């Protein structure tokens, strides 16, 4: 059976829960949720194996879990949402590097 092809696996890691969704350039699939404490590279790799996502796009406020994303992605490209990302929103904040990725993602969503 052929795997469904998608362009991206979107991952949003917060302290309690991690949200994951596959996306193409025009659509975002239904998100699923997993408790962040049990998020492992093996779980993510199984999810990635179910689809042919070429790129992982991740935001995280839990730095310890970033290693798990990198390990699971293998040779896939990983794009991290940070204050340095080109977001098409202006950040007017004294120290942008201290803004959490979750808040950056919210700003982008509101701007659309």
The beta-carbon contacts of 39-46 under 8 Å, at least 24 apart in sequence, are: 39/13, 39/65, 39/68, 40/68, 41/67, 41/68, 41/69, 41/71, 41/72, 42/72, 43/72, 44/11, 44/20, 44/68, 44/69, 44/72, 44/73, 45/71, 45/72, 45/74
Catalytic residue status for 7: no
Query: Active-site residue numbers?
Result: 102
């Amino acid at each position: 059976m052929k795997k469904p092809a998608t362009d991206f696996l979107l991952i949003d890691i917060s302290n309690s829960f991690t949200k994951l969704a596959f996306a193409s350039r025009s659509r975002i699939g239904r998100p699923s949720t997993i408790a962040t404490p049990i998020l492992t590279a093996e779980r993510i790799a199984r999810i990635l194996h179910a689809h042919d996502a070429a790129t992982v796009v991740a935001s995280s406020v839990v730095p310890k879990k970033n290693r798990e994303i990198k390990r699971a992605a293998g040779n896939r490209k990983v794009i991290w949402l940070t204050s340095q990302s080109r977001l098409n929103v202006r950040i007017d904040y004294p120290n942008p590097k201290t803004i959490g990725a979750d808040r950056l993602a919210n700003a982008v969503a509101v701007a659309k």
